[in-house]
Structure 1
């Protein structure tokens, strides 16, 4: 077969380029220490690498959510521990004030301490980490509770559904006694009296026929028309109202959840109303018992008015609210453990995923060094051989 000189040149250049290209590829691998620098290097390996990297990124998100959620839950757990200690103080005050061995002045001093504890628990209910309120459900940008005004009803025939509204901002309990029996909004005037110093002094007033708002100097309470009230007969019986500090829930009923697995989420905030109770903004009425804030509000008015029997009636509700708080704290602690344990498991899985990515992408430095030496040797050999071939011509044999 006749071989033209041009064929020899072309074949020689192809071998040179092939050897040089091999050297360049190995040089790139040496520079990056990776055997997969472009999809064309290993299409199936590149696809696997993309899948592994996407999976690793997802795991990282889950791990970050576990860490963030764990921080939220840890802070909330600490806040509830503080609340439980404060509530123990409240319970001790209630037990003391219910014994009927203290004067009204002493009970008023206890009431001052109770107010301080209530304010501290209110501050705890608005605990936040960074800019996230932890007891506002998923409404994390707004505080869980706001101070408002509420009412304690001392009449077994009445409920909070009979209250239309309560207004004012009294500095301490406003004690209202109906002194005449009748119907709110009826055709006859009704006499009542109120005190702003715990019953030491009284102001007499009249609810005019057809009117429904009982007005005092610092606050007012509007009753539903048709509500029946009973006049106080001197024995303490009758319809009594106590307008006092209350706390309205301003958060969401739904907790903030974070994904910590493919099909797993974790509640990282809490619905404060299930822990602290207070006033339901949707109805304007207290949440069902045990309602911590309302129980403390009732306890406060009985202490400020020197009513030991009323104080005693609050003890069971206070204790129930304490048990509820402990249960919610246990739930938060369990979720905190879930976040920690899941983070550990994810970290192990993520390390394995990174190891798999390395096995697909990273080059073996020792093997690469050997292959590089071989490629350079081959390239030098091809250059040498080609140089000798290019020197040959007919004159070399004359």
Structure 2
């Protein structure tokens, strides 16, 4: 069966083609103005699904990067406090060795005792170090200080450490157990320094405290080593996150970013085709008065 071609058939076909050409031009202009291939899910449903997945990964990577920065700040704060504590204990040790000199008179021993008291206060301040209002040696505790009256530890670190998630299956602890580092109550390093002061002001054997003091120094140095190892883990995680973020950004760009030069060229071609189609239609479709009235 042969279809009859009428003036209206040609008109409808020509107008449909012109409308399709205009739609293509509008789509290309939208891509140029936004710089994106996909401005609505209907533009490419499969690519839209990939975009949603990649943007979810991008948001997770951004959060992990913020966690890593926060972990770095926590660990740097602890590292500074422990480094100062180690230096304080080394100074105390030097003073204890001096205090073992039997030729020292009461005035010299009192001077040593006063200096050690000052070092004890400084050490206690370091043990109560905070970061953004949080005690870095007290875990998740909301106590005003890690060590309260009588050098009692007020933190909660054993069952509730502070951790930061660096990836889907990687976490790192960012606080330190103040009770393990400095001790608590009568077994704390602060009480040890008080005992040394008492020995200096009395007739006690000052050098007898060196063994306990060395043990406390070793504990601080071991915790410093642990903090350094955790800082290395965070640094490695930050490098991996930076690579992952770059990869995700590249994948997103490959899916949604336009080739500007290619889009401009295609738009110009569509404009030329549209102008040519308009000219041809104007010559072919010349309706009579009767056709117009219909």
Q: Same fold per TM (> 0.5)?
A: yes
Distance across 2 between alignment mates of 1:376 and 1:362: 22
Return the match for 2:246 from 338, 351, 364: 351
Counterpart of 1:301?
198
Counterpart of 1:328?
223
Alignment of 1:162-201 (within 5 A): none
Q: 1:135, CA displacement in angstroms?
A: 1.4
Q: 1:248, CA displacement in angstroms?
A: 1.6
Distance across 1 between alignment mates of 2:250 and 2:36: 14
Q: In the alignment, is the contact (CA less than 8 A) between 2:143 and 2:154 conserved in 1?
A: no
Counterpart of 2:210?
315
Q: Deviations over 1:128-184 (max 9, x none)?
A: 2332321111236742122x23xxxxxxxxxxxxxxxxxxxxxxxxxxxxxxxxxxx
Q: In the alignment, is the contact (CA less than 8 A) between 2:143 and 2:155 conserved in 1?
A: no
Return the match for 2:59 from 57, 60, 66: 57
Counterpart of 2:96?
94
Distance across 2 between alignment mates of 1:347 and 1:21: 41
Residues 312, 394 of structure 1: CA spacing in aligned structure 2 closer, same or farther, 3 A cutoff? closer
Distance across 2 between alignment mates of 1:384 and 1:307: 115
SS in 2 for 1:337: helix
Regions of 4+ moved over 4 Å? 392-395
Q: Which stretch of structure 1 is more off in the superposition, 380-389 or 320-329?
A: 380-389
Q: In the alignment, is the contact (CA less than 8 A) between 1:74 and 1:333 conserved in 2?
A: no
Return the match for 2:177 from 244, 249, 271: 271
SS in 1 for 2:171: strand
Counterpart of 1:81?
83
Q: 1:293, CA displacement in angstroms?
A: 2.3
- Is it true that 1:119 corresponds to 2:121 in the alignment? yes
Return the match for 1:33 from 17, 26, 35: 35
Q: In the alignment, is the contact (CA less than 8 A) between 1:99 and 1:308 conserved in 2?
A: no
Q: 1:393, CA displacement in angstroms?
A: 5.1
The alignment yields a C-alpha RMSD, in angstroms, of: 1.9
- Is it true that 1:369 corresponds to 2:273 in the alignment? no
Q: In the alignment, is the contact (CA less than 8 A) between 2:31 and 2:39 conserved in 1?
A: yes
- Is it true that 1:47 corresponds to 2:58 in the alignment? no
Residues 141, 346 of structure 1: CA spacing in aligned structure 2 closer, same or farther, 3 A cutoff? farther
Distance across 2 between alignment mates of 1:257 and 1:101: 52
Q: In the alignment, is the contact (CA less than 8 A) between 2:47 and 2:255 conserved in 1?
A: yes
Q: 1:319, CA displacement in angstroms?
A: 0.5
- Is it true that 1:389 corresponds to 2:293 in the alignment? no
Q: Which runs of 5+ in 1 are unaligned?
A: 150-246, 280-285
Distance across 1 between alignment mates of 2:143 and 2:256: 44
Distance across 1 between alignment mates of 2:227 and 2:140: 15
Q: Deviations over 1:94-118 (max 9, x none)?
A: 2222333323443222211111000
Distance across 2 between alignment mates of 1:326 and 1:41: 61
TM-score (norm 1): 0.68
| Higher relative contact order, structure no. (Cα contacts within 8 Å, ≥ 6 residues apart) | 2
Q: Which stretch of structure 1 is more off in the superposition, 325-334 or 135-144?
A: 135-144
Counterpart of 1:213?
none
Distance across 1 between alignment mates of 2:144 and 2:164: 19
Distance across 2 between alignment mates of 1:66 and 1:391: 72
Return the match for 2:156 from 238, 252, 256: 252
Q: In the alignment, is the contact (CA less than 8 A) between 1:138 and 1:269 conserved in 2?
A: no
Counterpart of 2:110?
108
